[in-house]
Chain A
Amino acid sequence: MHETVTKAPPAPVRPMAAARRPRLWPRFVILTVLAVAAAVLVLTWDIGPAPGTRGFWLIVNMRVVSVATIVIVAACQAVATVLFHTATSNRILTPSIMGFDALYVVMQTGLVFFFGADTLSRTDGLPKVVLQSLLMVGFATALYTWLFAGRRGDLHVMLLIGVVFGIGFGALSTFMQRLLTPSEFDILSARLFGNLSNSHKEYLPWAGLVVIVVLALVWQRRHRLDVLALGRETATNLGLHFKREIIVLLILTAVLISISTTLVGPMTFFGFIIATLSYQLVGSSRHWHVLPFAFLLGVVTLLGGYFVLRHVFYAAGLLSVIIEFAGGLFFLIYLLRKGSL
Protein backbone atom coordinates (compact mmCIF):
# COMPACT_ATOMS: atom_id res chain seq x y z
CA MET A 1 0.00 0.00 0.00
CA HIS A 2 1.40 3.35 -0.90
CA GLU A 3 -0.31 6.57 -0.17
CA THR A 4 0.14 9.60 -2.26
CA VAL A 5 -0.60 13.24 -1.77
CA THR A 6 -0.46 14.01 -5.45
CA LYS A 7 -3.63 14.14 -7.42
CA ALA A 8 -5.12 10.71 -7.79
CA PRO A 9 -5.44 9.41 -11.34
CA PRO A 10 -8.95 9.70 -12.71
CA ALA A 11 -11.04 6.79 -11.60
CA PRO A 12 -11.78 4.34 -14.41
CA VAL A 13 -15.26 4.75 -15.73
CA ARG A 14 -17.64 2.25 -14.15
CA PRO A 15 -15.07 0.41 -12.07
CA MET A 16 -17.57 -2.26 -11.11
CA ALA A 17 -18.77 -2.79 -14.65
CA ALA A 18 -16.84 -6.03 -15.08
CA ALA A 19 -18.32 -7.62 -11.98
CA ARG A 20 -21.73 -6.54 -13.07
CA ARG A 21 -24.87 -8.59 -13.65
CA PRO A 22 -23.78 -12.15 -14.03
CA ARG A 23 -25.64 -13.79 -16.85
CA LEU A 24 -28.56 -15.58 -15.36
CA TRP A 25 -29.93 -17.80 -18.07
CA PRO A 26 -27.19 -20.48 -18.07
CA ARG A 27 -28.07 -21.27 -14.46
CA PHE A 28 -31.69 -21.74 -15.38
CA VAL A 29 -30.77 -23.95 -18.33
CA ILE A 30 -28.52 -26.12 -16.18
CA LEU A 31 -31.18 -26.50 -13.50
CA THR A 32 -33.88 -27.31 -16.03
CA VAL A 33 -31.69 -29.96 -17.65
CA LEU A 34 -30.95 -31.44 -14.23
CA ALA A 35 -34.62 -31.45 -13.30
CA VAL A 36 -35.63 -33.18 -16.52
CA ALA A 37 -32.77 -35.67 -16.19
CA ALA A 38 -33.77 -36.48 -12.61
CA ALA A 39 -37.38 -36.95 -13.66
CA VAL A 40 -36.40 -39.30 -16.50
CA LEU A 41 -34.12 -41.28 -14.17
CA VAL A 42 -36.79 -41.65 -11.51
CA LEU A 43 -39.33 -42.70 -14.14
CA THR A 44 -37.26 -45.25 -16.03
CA TRP A 45 -34.45 -46.57 -13.83
CA ASP A 46 -34.33 -50.21 -12.97
CA ILE A 47 -37.54 -51.36 -14.59
CA GLY A 48 -37.77 -55.11 -15.12
CA PRO A 49 -39.71 -55.29 -18.42
CA ALA A 50 -37.85 -54.09 -21.52
CA PRO A 51 -38.42 -50.45 -22.59
CA GLY A 52 -41.43 -50.07 -24.84
CA THR A 53 -43.32 -53.09 -23.60
CA ARG A 54 -46.67 -52.80 -21.89
CA GLY A 55 -45.23 -53.71 -18.49
CA PHE A 56 -42.66 -50.96 -18.85
CA TRP A 57 -45.29 -48.29 -19.44
CA LEU A 58 -47.40 -49.59 -16.59
CA ILE A 59 -44.54 -49.06 -14.14
CA VAL A 60 -43.68 -45.67 -15.64
CA ASN A 61 -47.30 -44.62 -15.19
CA MET A 62 -47.20 -45.64 -11.56
CA ARG A 63 -44.04 -43.65 -11.04
CA VAL A 64 -45.55 -40.57 -12.66
CA VAL A 65 -47.62 -40.16 -9.49
CA SER A 66 -44.46 -39.82 -7.40
CA VAL A 67 -42.87 -37.41 -9.83
CA ALA A 68 -46.00 -35.26 -10.00
CA THR A 69 -46.23 -35.21 -6.21
CA ILE A 70 -42.61 -34.17 -5.97
CA VAL A 71 -43.06 -31.38 -8.50
CA ILE A 72 -46.13 -30.05 -6.67
CA VAL A 73 -44.47 -30.27 -3.26
CA ALA A 74 -41.32 -28.58 -4.55
CA ALA A 75 -43.35 -25.76 -6.06
CA CYS A 76 -45.38 -25.30 -2.87
CA GLN A 77 -42.47 -25.34 -0.48
CA ALA A 78 -40.08 -23.25 -2.55
CA VAL A 79 -42.54 -20.53 -3.53
CA ALA A 80 -44.23 -20.42 -0.12
CA THR A 81 -40.95 -19.95 1.69
CA VAL A 82 -39.73 -17.19 -0.62
CA LEU A 83 -43.09 -15.40 -0.30
CA PHE A 84 -42.98 -15.78 3.46
CA HIS A 85 -39.46 -14.35 3.55
CA THR A 86 -40.53 -11.37 1.47
CA ALA A 87 -43.68 -10.78 3.50
CA THR A 88 -41.83 -10.83 6.81
CA SER A 89 -38.65 -9.17 5.42
CA ASN A 90 -36.71 -11.86 7.16
CA ARG A 91 -34.85 -14.78 5.69
CA ILE A 92 -34.57 -16.96 8.71
CA LEU A 93 -38.21 -17.74 9.33
CA THR A 94 -40.09 -20.51 7.61
CA PRO A 95 -43.86 -20.75 7.26
CA SER A 96 -43.86 -23.67 9.67
CA ILE A 97 -42.90 -21.25 12.45
CA MET A 98 -46.46 -19.99 12.25
CA GLY A 99 -47.76 -23.28 13.56
CA PHE A 100 -48.78 -24.85 10.22
CA ASP A 101 -47.06 -28.16 10.75
CA ALA A 102 -48.13 -28.25 14.37
CA LEU A 103 -51.74 -27.70 13.33
CA TYR A 104 -51.52 -30.61 10.90
CA VAL A 105 -50.03 -32.82 13.61
CA VAL A 106 -52.70 -31.86 16.13
CA MET A 107 -55.45 -32.59 13.60
CA GLN A 108 -54.10 -36.06 12.84
CA THR A 109 -53.48 -36.81 16.50
CA GLY A 110 -56.93 -35.56 17.44
CA LEU A 111 -58.51 -37.88 14.87
CA VAL A 112 -56.76 -40.89 16.31
CA PHE A 113 -57.30 -39.79 19.90
CA PHE A 114 -61.01 -39.18 19.63
CA PHE A 115 -62.11 -41.64 16.97
CA GLY A 116 -59.52 -44.40 17.00
CA ALA A 117 -56.65 -45.32 14.69
CA ASP A 118 -58.76 -46.89 11.98
CA THR A 119 -60.46 -43.51 11.41
CA LEU A 120 -57.25 -42.25 9.83
CA SER A 121 -57.46 -44.60 6.91
CA ARG A 122 -61.26 -44.86 6.91
CA THR A 123 -61.73 -41.10 6.42
CA ASP A 124 -59.02 -40.85 3.77
CA GLY A 125 -60.40 -39.25 0.68
CA LEU A 126 -60.87 -35.99 -1.08
CA PRO A 127 -63.32 -34.49 1.47
CA LYS A 128 -60.85 -34.95 4.32
CA VAL A 129 -57.99 -33.47 2.31
CA VAL A 130 -60.09 -30.47 1.35
CA LEU A 131 -61.27 -30.01 4.93
CA GLN A 132 -57.73 -30.23 6.28
CA SER A 133 -56.47 -27.67 3.80
CA LEU A 134 -59.38 -25.35 4.49
CA LEU A 135 -58.80 -25.61 8.25
CA MET A 136 -55.12 -24.75 7.86
CA VAL A 137 -55.77 -21.85 5.52
CA GLY A 138 -58.65 -20.67 7.71
CA PHE A 139 -56.45 -20.73 10.79
CA ALA A 140 -53.72 -18.76 9.06
CA THR A 141 -56.11 -16.23 7.57
CA ALA A 142 -57.79 -15.66 10.91
CA LEU A 143 -54.45 -15.19 12.60
CA TYR A 144 -53.18 -12.76 9.96
CA THR A 145 -56.25 -10.63 9.65
CA TRP A 146 -56.87 -10.53 13.38
CA LEU A 147 -53.33 -9.70 14.37
CA PHE A 148 -51.86 -7.94 11.41
CA ALA A 149 -54.73 -6.05 9.87
CA GLY A 150 -55.93 -4.91 13.27
CA ARG A 151 -55.16 -1.63 14.89
CA ARG A 152 -51.78 -2.66 16.27
CA GLY A 153 -50.74 -4.30 13.04
CA ASP A 154 -47.36 -5.48 14.24
CA LEU A 155 -45.72 -8.21 12.19
CA HIS A 156 -43.45 -9.30 15.01
CA VAL A 157 -46.30 -9.67 17.47
CA MET A 158 -48.11 -11.75 14.87
CA LEU A 159 -45.09 -14.00 14.32
CA LEU A 160 -44.60 -14.41 18.05
CA ILE A 161 -48.23 -15.41 18.54
CA GLY A 162 -47.88 -17.82 15.61
CA VAL A 163 -44.91 -19.41 17.36
CA VAL A 164 -46.88 -19.63 20.62
CA PHE A 165 -49.77 -21.29 18.79
CA GLY A 166 -47.32 -23.73 17.23
CA ILE A 167 -45.90 -24.64 20.64
CA GLY A 168 -49.40 -24.94 22.06
CA PHE A 169 -50.50 -27.30 19.27
CA GLY A 170 -47.31 -29.29 19.72
CA ALA A 171 -47.89 -29.66 23.45
CA LEU A 172 -51.48 -30.69 22.88
CA SER A 173 -50.39 -33.33 20.34
CA THR A 174 -47.72 -34.70 22.66
CA PHE A 175 -50.27 -34.93 25.46
CA MET A 176 -52.75 -36.85 23.32
CA GLN A 177 -50.00 -39.09 21.90
CA ARG A 178 -49.01 -40.10 25.44
CA LEU A 179 -52.49 -41.47 25.99
CA LEU A 180 -52.61 -43.52 22.81
CA THR A 181 -51.95 -47.23 22.76
CA PRO A 182 -48.59 -48.16 21.20
CA SER A 183 -50.26 -49.59 18.10
CA GLU A 184 -52.35 -46.47 17.57
CA PHE A 185 -49.26 -44.34 18.06
CA ASP A 186 -47.42 -46.43 15.50
CA ILE A 187 -50.10 -45.87 12.89
CA LEU A 188 -50.15 -42.17 13.68
CA SER A 189 -46.37 -41.73 13.46
CA ALA A 190 -46.41 -43.02 9.92
CA ARG A 191 -48.52 -39.97 9.03
CA LEU A 192 -46.44 -37.42 10.83
CA PHE A 193 -43.22 -37.67 8.89
CA GLY A 194 -43.18 -36.17 5.47
CA ASN A 195 -43.48 -39.18 3.23
CA LEU A 196 -43.73 -39.11 -0.52
CA SER A 197 -45.53 -42.43 -0.59
CA ASN A 198 -48.34 -40.96 1.52
CA SER A 199 -49.59 -39.28 -1.57
CA HIS A 200 -52.61 -40.59 -3.41
CA LYS A 201 -53.29 -40.40 -7.08
CA GLU A 202 -56.80 -39.01 -6.75
CA TYR A 203 -55.74 -35.79 -4.94
CA LEU A 204 -53.09 -34.87 -7.43
CA PRO A 205 -55.21 -33.21 -10.13
CA TRP A 206 -56.95 -31.06 -7.51
CA ALA A 207 -53.75 -30.13 -5.74
CA GLY A 208 -52.13 -29.39 -9.08
CA LEU A 209 -55.00 -27.17 -10.13
CA VAL A 210 -54.96 -25.13 -6.93
CA VAL A 211 -51.18 -24.78 -7.07
CA ILE A 212 -51.32 -23.59 -10.67
CA VAL A 213 -53.92 -20.97 -9.78
CA VAL A 214 -51.87 -19.77 -6.80
CA LEU A 215 -48.67 -19.69 -8.83
CA ALA A 216 -50.43 -17.66 -11.53
CA LEU A 217 -51.53 -15.16 -8.88
CA VAL A 218 -47.99 -14.99 -7.53
CA TRP A 219 -46.52 -14.53 -11.00
CA GLN A 220 -48.93 -11.71 -11.67
CA ARG A 221 -47.67 -10.04 -8.49
CA ARG A 222 -43.96 -10.57 -9.19
CA HIS A 223 -43.15 -6.87 -9.64
CA ARG A 224 -45.10 -5.96 -6.54
CA LEU A 225 -43.13 -8.52 -4.58
CA ASP A 226 -39.90 -6.72 -5.47
CA VAL A 227 -41.37 -3.45 -4.26
CA LEU A 228 -42.71 -5.03 -1.05
CA ALA A 229 -39.21 -6.32 -0.31
CA LEU A 230 -38.06 -2.69 -0.04
CA GLY A 231 -39.97 -2.38 3.24
CA ARG A 232 -43.22 -0.84 4.40
CA GLU A 233 -42.37 2.80 3.95
CA THR A 234 -40.83 2.59 0.51
CA ALA A 235 -43.57 0.26 -0.71
CA THR A 236 -46.24 2.63 0.56
CA ASN A 237 -44.48 5.54 -1.07
CA LEU A 238 -44.54 3.63 -4.34
CA GLY A 239 -48.29 3.24 -4.06
CA LEU A 240 -48.84 -0.21 -2.59
CA HIS A 241 -51.33 -0.88 0.17
CA PHE A 242 -48.71 -2.60 2.30
CA LYS A 243 -50.89 -4.42 4.82
CA ARG A 244 -53.28 -5.71 2.20
CA GLU A 245 -50.45 -6.98 0.04
CA ILE A 246 -48.77 -8.71 2.97
CA ILE A 247 -51.98 -10.42 4.05
CA VAL A 248 -52.59 -11.64 0.50
CA LEU A 249 -49.04 -13.02 0.41
CA LEU A 250 -49.44 -14.78 3.74
CA ILE A 251 -52.71 -16.35 2.67
CA LEU A 252 -51.18 -17.58 -0.59
CA THR A 253 -48.34 -19.00 1.49
CA ALA A 254 -50.86 -20.75 3.73
CA VAL A 255 -52.62 -22.32 0.74
CA LEU A 256 -49.35 -23.63 -0.71
CA ILE A 257 -48.11 -25.03 2.60
CA SER A 258 -51.42 -26.65 3.40
CA ILE A 259 -51.42 -28.42 0.05
CA SER A 260 -47.91 -29.65 0.48
CA THR A 261 -48.62 -30.79 4.04
CA THR A 262 -51.82 -32.62 3.19
CA LEU A 263 -50.06 -34.34 0.28
CA VAL A 264 -46.95 -35.61 2.02
CA GLY A 265 -46.93 -34.39 5.64
CA PRO A 266 -44.81 -31.73 7.34
CA MET A 267 -41.51 -30.66 5.78
CA THR A 268 -39.96 -28.15 8.09
CA PHE A 269 -36.62 -27.34 6.55
CA PHE A 270 -36.97 -28.21 2.91
CA GLY A 271 -38.40 -24.84 1.88
CA PHE A 272 -35.81 -23.02 3.91
CA ILE A 273 -32.86 -24.82 2.31
CA ILE A 274 -34.22 -24.29 -1.16
CA ALA A 275 -34.99 -20.61 -0.63
CA THR A 276 -31.66 -19.88 1.05
CA LEU A 277 -29.67 -21.71 -1.61
CA SER A 278 -31.60 -19.90 -4.32
CA TYR A 279 -30.81 -16.47 -2.90
CA GLN A 280 -27.13 -17.43 -2.92
CA LEU A 281 -27.06 -19.03 -6.35
CA VAL A 282 -29.43 -17.05 -8.53
CA GLY A 283 -27.48 -13.79 -8.41
CA SER A 284 -30.51 -11.52 -8.45
CA SER A 285 -33.01 -10.32 -5.90
CA ARG A 286 -35.84 -10.06 -8.43
CA HIS A 287 -38.70 -12.36 -7.70
CA TRP A 288 -39.16 -13.31 -11.31
CA HIS A 289 -35.67 -14.82 -11.11
CA VAL A 290 -35.74 -16.14 -7.55
CA LEU A 291 -39.14 -17.87 -7.70
CA PRO A 292 -38.60 -20.03 -10.81
CA PHE A 293 -35.05 -20.77 -9.68
CA ALA A 294 -36.21 -21.92 -6.25
CA PHE A 295 -38.89 -24.09 -7.87
CA LEU A 296 -36.39 -25.77 -10.21
CA LEU A 297 -33.88 -26.24 -7.41
CA GLY A 298 -36.61 -27.80 -5.28
CA VAL A 299 -37.53 -30.23 -8.04
CA VAL A 300 -33.90 -31.20 -8.62
CA THR A 301 -33.22 -31.70 -4.91
CA LEU A 302 -36.35 -33.72 -4.20
CA LEU A 303 -36.20 -35.86 -7.35
CA GLY A 304 -32.46 -36.39 -6.96
CA GLY A 305 -32.83 -37.30 -3.30
CA TYR A 306 -35.74 -39.60 -4.08
CA PHE A 307 -33.78 -41.37 -6.81
CA VAL A 308 -30.68 -41.86 -4.68
CA LEU A 309 -32.64 -43.09 -1.70
CA ARG A 310 -34.82 -45.39 -3.70
CA HIS A 311 -32.32 -46.94 -6.02
CA VAL A 312 -29.11 -46.66 -4.05
CA PHE A 313 -30.28 -47.17 -0.48
CA TYR A 314 -33.65 -48.82 -1.16
CA ALA A 315 -35.40 -46.64 1.43
CA ALA A 316 -37.87 -44.38 -0.30
CA GLY A 317 -39.92 -43.41 2.73
CA LEU A 318 -37.02 -41.75 4.51
CA LEU A 319 -36.52 -38.86 2.11
CA SER A 320 -38.05 -36.16 4.28
CA VAL A 321 -36.17 -37.39 7.32
CA ILE A 322 -32.91 -37.08 5.40
CA ILE A 323 -33.90 -33.65 4.12
CA GLU A 324 -34.79 -32.48 7.59
CA PHE A 325 -31.46 -33.75 8.88
CA ALA A 326 -29.39 -32.26 6.08
CA GLY A 327 -31.52 -29.13 6.18
CA GLY A 328 -31.05 -28.69 9.91
CA LEU A 329 -27.29 -29.05 9.53
CA PHE A 330 -27.22 -26.64 6.63
CA PHE A 331 -29.31 -24.17 8.60
CA LEU A 332 -26.87 -24.24 11.52
CA ILE A 333 -23.78 -23.97 9.34
CA TYR A 334 -25.30 -21.14 7.35
CA LEU A 335 -26.27 -19.26 10.48
CA LEU A 336 -22.88 -19.72 12.13
CA ARG A 337 -20.92 -18.76 9.02
CA LYS A 338 -22.91 -15.72 8.13
CA GLY A 339 -23.73 -14.49 11.61
CA SER A 340 -26.76 -12.77 10.22
CA LEU A 341 -29.27 -13.30 7.47
Chain B
Amino acid sequence: MITVSGVTKVYGDTRVLGPIDLELPAGGITALVGPNGAGKSTLLTIMGRLIAPTAGRVTIAGRDVATTPGRELAKLLSILRQENHFITRLTVRDLVGFGRFPHSRGRLTAADHEQIDRAIAFLKLEEITDRYLDQLSGGQRQRAYVAMVLAQDTEYILLDEPLNNLDIRHAVSMMTQLRTAADELGKTIVIVVHDLNFAAAYADRIVVLNQGQVAHVGTPTEIMCPEVLTGVFETPFRITNHDGYPLAVYYR
Protein backbone atom coordinates (compact mmCIF):
# COMPACT_ATOMS: atom_id res chain seq x y z
CA MET B 1 0.00 0.00 0.00
CA ILE B 2 1.16 3.52 -0.80
CA THR B 3 0.13 6.11 1.77
CA VAL B 4 0.55 9.79 1.05
CA SER B 5 -0.19 11.99 4.04
CA GLY B 6 -0.21 15.77 4.06
CA VAL B 7 2.24 16.03 1.18
CA THR B 8 2.83 19.52 -0.20
CA LYS B 9 5.44 20.92 -2.52
CA VAL B 10 6.20 24.63 -2.59
CA TYR B 11 8.52 26.34 -5.07
CA GLY B 12 9.32 29.89 -3.95
CA ASP B 13 5.91 31.04 -2.83
CA THR B 14 3.86 28.98 -5.24
CA ARG B 15 2.34 25.83 -3.92
CA VAL B 16 2.36 23.40 -6.80
CA LEU B 17 1.02 20.45 -4.89
CA GLY B 18 -1.09 19.55 -1.94
CA PRO B 19 -1.78 19.10 0.78
CA ILE B 20 -2.49 15.62 -0.51
CA ASP B 21 -3.77 12.65 1.44
CA LEU B 22 -4.12 9.53 -0.61
CA GLU B 23 -4.09 5.79 -0.11
CA LEU B 24 -3.40 3.44 -2.95
CA PRO B 25 -3.93 -0.25 -2.15
CA ALA B 26 -1.31 -2.81 -3.15
CA GLY B 27 -1.82 -4.51 -6.48
CA GLY B 28 -3.23 -3.36 -9.78
CA ILE B 29 -2.62 -0.31 -11.91
CA THR B 30 -3.37 3.20 -10.74
CA ALA B 31 -3.38 5.99 -13.30
CA LEU B 32 -2.72 9.60 -12.35
CA VAL B 33 -4.46 11.93 -14.78
CA GLY B 34 -5.10 15.62 -14.92
CA PRO B 35 -4.45 18.76 -16.93
CA ASN B 36 -0.96 20.22 -17.43
CA GLY B 37 0.47 21.57 -14.23
CA ALA B 38 -1.90 19.58 -12.04
CA GLY B 39 1.03 18.08 -10.14
CA LYS B 40 0.86 14.49 -11.45
CA SER B 41 4.56 14.11 -12.10
CA THR B 42 5.46 16.02 -8.94
CA LEU B 43 3.34 13.66 -6.86
CA LEU B 44 4.83 10.62 -8.57
CA THR B 45 8.42 11.82 -8.11
CA ILE B 46 7.74 12.56 -4.44
CA MET B 47 6.33 9.04 -4.02
CA GLY B 48 9.47 7.72 -5.65
CA ARG B 49 11.71 9.86 -3.36
CA LEU B 50 13.37 11.61 -6.29
CA ILE B 51 12.33 14.95 -4.86
CA ALA B 52 11.60 15.73 -1.23
CA PRO B 53 8.20 17.17 -0.34
CA THR B 54 8.06 20.52 1.45
CA ALA B 55 5.86 18.89 4.07
CA GLY B 56 4.19 15.55 4.65
CA ARG B 57 5.34 11.99 4.17
CA VAL B 58 4.98 9.02 1.91
CA THR B 59 5.11 5.43 3.08
CA ILE B 60 5.29 2.45 0.80
CA ALA B 61 4.42 -0.91 2.31
CA GLY B 62 4.74 0.78 5.68
CA ARG B 63 8.20 2.20 5.04
CA ASP B 64 8.86 5.92 4.95
CA VAL B 65 10.54 6.71 1.62
CA ALA B 66 12.45 9.63 3.12
CA THR B 67 14.16 7.63 5.86
CA THR B 68 14.44 4.08 4.53
CA PRO B 69 17.99 3.41 3.29
CA GLY B 70 18.18 3.83 -0.48
CA ARG B 71 19.56 0.38 -0.96
CA GLU B 72 16.58 -1.32 0.68
CA LEU B 73 14.09 1.00 -0.96
CA ALA B 74 15.54 0.16 -4.37
CA LYS B 75 14.46 -3.44 -3.90
CA LEU B 76 10.92 -2.40 -2.99
CA LEU B 77 10.22 0.52 -5.26
CA SER B 78 11.38 1.62 -8.69
CA ILE B 79 10.62 4.83 -10.50
CA LEU B 80 11.20 5.95 -14.05
CA ARG B 81 11.11 9.56 -15.10
CA GLN B 82 10.26 10.87 -18.53
CA GLU B 83 13.60 12.14 -19.65
CA ASN B 84 16.67 10.18 -18.88
CA HIS B 85 20.20 11.26 -19.30
CA PHE B 86 21.85 8.46 -21.26
CA ILE B 87 25.36 7.37 -21.98
CA THR B 88 26.12 6.60 -25.57
CA ARG B 89 28.53 3.68 -25.12
CA LEU B 90 25.94 1.55 -23.40
CA THR B 91 23.95 -1.25 -24.98
CA VAL B 92 20.33 -2.02 -24.22
CA ARG B 93 21.44 -5.12 -22.36
CA ASP B 94 23.91 -3.11 -20.28
CA LEU B 95 21.16 -0.67 -19.37
CA VAL B 96 18.69 -3.38 -18.42
CA GLY B 97 21.48 -5.00 -16.41
CA PHE B 98 21.73 -1.89 -14.25
CA GLY B 99 18.26 -2.77 -12.98
CA ARG B 100 19.92 -5.59 -11.05
CA PHE B 101 22.30 -3.24 -9.28
CA PRO B 102 20.30 -3.02 -6.02
CA HIS B 103 20.41 -6.82 -5.78
CA SER B 104 23.86 -7.70 -7.03
CA ARG B 105 25.83 -4.45 -6.50
CA GLY B 106 27.25 -4.73 -9.99
CA ARG B 107 28.37 -8.34 -10.00
CA LEU B 108 25.76 -10.07 -12.11
CA THR B 109 24.95 -13.65 -11.23
CA ALA B 110 23.28 -16.28 -13.41
CA ALA B 111 19.98 -15.45 -11.71
CA ASP B 112 20.48 -11.78 -12.57
CA HIS B 113 21.09 -12.64 -16.22
CA GLU B 114 17.87 -14.65 -16.19
CA GLN B 115 15.95 -11.63 -14.87
CA ILE B 116 17.56 -9.42 -17.50
CA ASP B 117 16.60 -11.84 -20.29
CA ARG B 118 13.07 -11.98 -18.98
CA ALA B 119 12.76 -8.18 -18.85
CA ILE B 120 14.16 -7.89 -22.36
CA ALA B 121 11.75 -10.52 -23.65
CA PHE B 122 8.88 -8.89 -21.77
CA LEU B 123 9.36 -5.64 -23.66
CA LYS B 124 10.23 -7.45 -26.89
CA LEU B 125 13.67 -5.90 -27.12
CA GLU B 126 15.48 -9.08 -28.22
CA GLU B 127 16.28 -7.69 -31.66
CA ILE B 128 18.04 -4.65 -30.30
CA THR B 129 19.73 -5.92 -27.13
CA ASP B 130 23.21 -5.26 -28.47
CA ARG B 131 22.51 -1.83 -29.89
CA TYR B 132 23.93 1.25 -28.27
CA LEU B 133 21.45 3.64 -26.69
CA ASP B 134 22.26 6.46 -29.08
CA GLN B 135 21.35 4.25 -32.03
CA LEU B 136 17.79 3.86 -30.79
CA SER B 137 14.65 5.85 -31.42
CA GLY B 138 13.04 7.68 -28.51
CA GLY B 139 10.41 4.97 -28.21
CA GLN B 140 12.92 2.12 -28.20
CA ARG B 141 14.96 3.89 -25.55
CA GLN B 142 11.82 4.42 -23.51
CA ARG B 143 11.10 0.69 -23.64
CA ALA B 144 14.69 -0.13 -22.72
CA TYR B 145 14.35 2.01 -19.60
CA VAL B 146 11.07 0.32 -18.69
CA ALA B 147 12.84 -3.02 -19.11
CA MET B 148 15.53 -1.82 -16.70
CA VAL B 149 12.87 -0.99 -14.13
CA LEU B 150 11.26 -4.40 -14.63
CA ALA B 151 14.61 -6.12 -14.19
CA GLN B 152 14.86 -4.30 -10.89
CA ASP B 153 11.97 -6.58 -9.92
CA THR B 154 10.38 -4.40 -7.27
CA GLU B 155 6.93 -4.81 -5.83
CA TYR B 156 6.07 -1.18 -6.55
CA ILE B 157 6.69 0.43 -9.92
CA LEU B 158 6.13 4.12 -10.62
CA LEU B 159 6.26 5.28 -14.23
CA ASP B 160 6.08 8.87 -15.39
CA GLU B 161 4.34 8.89 -18.80
CA PRO B 162 5.54 5.51 -20.02
CA LEU B 163 3.61 6.04 -23.24
CA ASN B 164 5.64 9.07 -24.24
CA ASN B 165 7.33 8.65 -27.62
CA LEU B 166 5.52 5.39 -28.29
CA ASP B 167 3.49 4.78 -31.42
CA ILE B 168 0.03 3.22 -31.16
CA ARG B 169 1.27 -0.35 -31.48
CA HIS B 170 3.93 0.07 -28.81
CA ALA B 171 1.65 2.09 -26.55
CA VAL B 172 -0.94 -0.68 -26.63
CA SER B 173 1.69 -3.34 -26.09
CA MET B 174 3.27 -1.36 -23.22
CA MET B 175 -0.10 -1.12 -21.45
CA THR B 176 -0.83 -4.79 -22.09
CA GLN B 177 2.55 -5.70 -20.63
CA LEU B 178 2.01 -3.52 -17.57
CA ARG B 179 -1.38 -5.18 -17.15
CA THR B 180 0.33 -8.58 -17.29
CA ALA B 181 2.95 -7.45 -14.77
CA ALA B 182 0.18 -6.38 -12.40
CA ASP B 183 -1.97 -9.49 -12.93
CA GLU B 184 0.60 -12.24 -13.17
CA LEU B 185 3.55 -10.90 -11.22
CA GLY B 186 1.42 -9.10 -8.63
CA LYS B 187 3.12 -5.73 -9.09
CA THR B 188 1.64 -2.47 -7.84
CA ILE B 189 1.97 -0.01 -10.70
CA VAL B 190 1.34 3.73 -10.65
CA ILE B 191 1.56 5.58 -13.94
CA VAL B 192 1.09 9.13 -15.12
CA VAL B 193 -0.82 9.12 -18.41
CA HIS B 194 -2.21 11.83 -20.60
CA ASP B 195 -4.50 9.65 -22.67
CA LEU B 196 -7.68 9.19 -20.64
CA ASN B 197 -8.82 6.32 -22.81
CA PHE B 198 -5.66 4.34 -22.12
CA ALA B 199 -6.20 4.96 -18.42
CA ALA B 200 -9.82 3.85 -18.64
CA ALA B 201 -9.00 0.75 -20.64
CA TYR B 202 -6.14 -0.58 -18.53
CA ALA B 203 -6.14 0.94 -15.05
CA ASP B 204 -7.95 -0.41 -11.99
CA ARG B 205 -8.34 3.01 -10.49
CA ILE B 206 -7.87 6.55 -11.63
CA VAL B 207 -6.74 9.49 -9.53
CA VAL B 208 -7.67 12.83 -11.03
CA LEU B 209 -5.46 15.71 -9.97
CA ASN B 210 -6.30 19.34 -10.58
CA GLN B 211 -4.40 22.42 -9.44
CA GLY B 212 -2.26 20.42 -7.07
CA GLN B 213 -5.18 18.73 -5.35
CA VAL B 214 -6.78 15.32 -5.63
CA ALA B 215 -10.04 16.10 -7.42
CA HIS B 216 -11.45 12.57 -7.74
CA VAL B 217 -10.49 8.99 -7.03
CA GLY B 218 -12.42 6.09 -8.46
CA THR B 219 -12.73 3.21 -10.89
CA PRO B 220 -12.64 4.04 -14.60
CA THR B 221 -16.46 3.88 -14.80
CA GLU B 222 -16.81 6.28 -11.89
CA ILE B 223 -14.31 8.76 -13.28
CA MET B 224 -15.23 8.57 -16.93
CA CYS B 225 -18.35 10.72 -16.87
CA PRO B 226 -18.84 14.18 -18.34
CA GLU B 227 -19.55 15.82 -14.98
CA VAL B 228 -16.14 14.83 -13.59
CA LEU B 229 -14.01 15.32 -16.68
CA THR B 230 -15.53 18.52 -18.08
CA GLY B 231 -15.00 20.25 -14.76
CA VAL B 232 -11.35 19.25 -14.54
CA PHE B 233 -10.23 19.54 -18.15
CA GLU B 234 -12.50 22.46 -19.10
CA THR B 235 -13.41 20.71 -22.33
CA PRO B 236 -16.78 19.25 -23.31
CA PHE B 237 -16.78 15.44 -23.05
CA ARG B 238 -19.01 12.71 -24.36
CA ILE B 239 -18.62 9.25 -22.91
CA THR B 240 -19.59 6.20 -24.93
CA ASN B 241 -19.46 2.61 -23.92
CA HIS B 242 -17.19 0.49 -26.01
CA ASP B 243 -17.25 -3.27 -25.41
CA GLY B 244 -17.79 -2.78 -21.70
CA TYR B 245 -15.34 -0.02 -20.96
CA PRO B 246 -15.93 3.72 -21.14
CA LEU B 247 -14.47 5.75 -23.96
CA ALA B 248 -14.15 9.53 -23.81
CA VAL B 249 -14.74 11.51 -26.97
CA TYR B 250 -13.58 15.09 -26.85
CA TYR B 251 -11.94 15.79 -30.17
CA ARG B 252 -14.54 18.25 -31.51
Contacts and interface: CB of A to CB of B under 8 A. Distances in A.
Contact of B98 (A11, A17, A226, A279): A226
A285 interface: yes
A226 B106 CA distance: 9
Interface stretch (B70-78, B179-187, B233-241): B70-78
A14 B84 contact: no
B196 to A, nearest CB: 27
Contacts of A15: 127
A237 B152 CA distance: 10
B105 interface: yes
Contact of A227 (B75, B89, B98): B98
B89 A239 contact: no
Interface string B136-154: 0000000000000100100
B80 A237 contact: yes
Given A16-B131, A21-B130, A237-B80, A227 B90 contact: no
A15 B130 CA distance: 9
A11 B75 contact: no
B130 A239 contact: no
Question: What is the size category of the interface that chain A forms with chain B?
Answer: 20 to 34
A176 to B, nearest CB: 42
A237 B79 contact: yes
Nearest to B99: A238
A16 B86 CA distance: 20
Contact of B85 (A89, A223, A227, A237): A89
B41 to A, nearest CB: 12
A284 B94 CA distance: 11
Nearest to A225: B106
Contact of A237 (B50, B87, B129): B50
B9 interface: no
Interface string B49-93: 110000000000000000000111111001111001111111100
Interface in A70-116: 89
B127 A241 contact: no
B127 A11 contact: yes
A14 B125 CA distance: 11
Contacts of B84: 230-231, 233-234
Interface string A237-260: 111110000000000000000000
B101 A233 contact: no
B226 interface: no
B106 A223 contact: yes
6 contacts: A16-B128, A233-B50, A237-B152, A238-B101, A240-B70, A285-B89
